[in-house]
Amino acid sequence: MAAVLGKVTRGMAAAPVPRAGLRRLLSAAASVAAEHKKSSARMWKILSYTVAFPGVAVCMLNAYLKGKEKHERPEFAPYPYLRIRTKPFPWKDGNHTLLHNPHTNPLPDGYEDEL
């Protein structure tokens, strides 16, 4: 059985590959790939114009309209577990974050405006 299998596989390895058929096959594959690229690019272009750009516009409109509303800050509640300082910040006094906003970010004692 092994001898027969060896002869078959050697015969397959020694079989010549028809060059003209291989060229036609590669040419057909290249044309299919080129057509796929064109259709794929067209699909993404259509999706960009019909979905992505209107979606970004709606999000920008939403942010603009929400930004015009008056926001009231929440009442300060002295929860000690929310303001644990295990390591001080390397700038200022250690209680202010790098982008600290005194109107919205409370310190452990309360808002800076109310102190």
Instruction: Assess whether 26 and 61 both reside in one domain.
Output: yes
Q: How confident is the model at residue 106 (pLDDT cuts 50, 70, 90)?
A: confident
Instruction: Assess whether 104 and 85 both reside in one domain.
Output: yes
The C-alpha torsion from 84 through 89 and 93 to 99, rounded to 10°, is -100
Mean pLDDT computed over every residue of the chain: 80
pLDDT one-digit tens code per residue, 17-26: 566 677 777 7
pLDDT one-digit tens code per residue, 62-76: 999 998 888 888 888
Instruction: Assess whether 83 and 107 both reside in one domain.
Output: yes
Please tell me which residue, 50 or 19, carries the higher pLDDT value: 50
Instruction: Assess whether 79 and 61 both reside in one domain.
Output: no
Q: What is the predicted pLDDT for the residue at 9?
A: 57
Q: Which domain holds residue 30?
A: 21-71
Taking the CA atoms of 16, 20, 23 and 24 in sequence, report the sign of the dihedral they define. Answer: negative
Q: What is the predicted pLDDT for the residue at 115?
A: 65
Look at the chain and report how many structural domains it folds into.
Answer: 2
57 domain-assigned: yes
Output phi, psi for 17, to 5 deg.
-90, 125
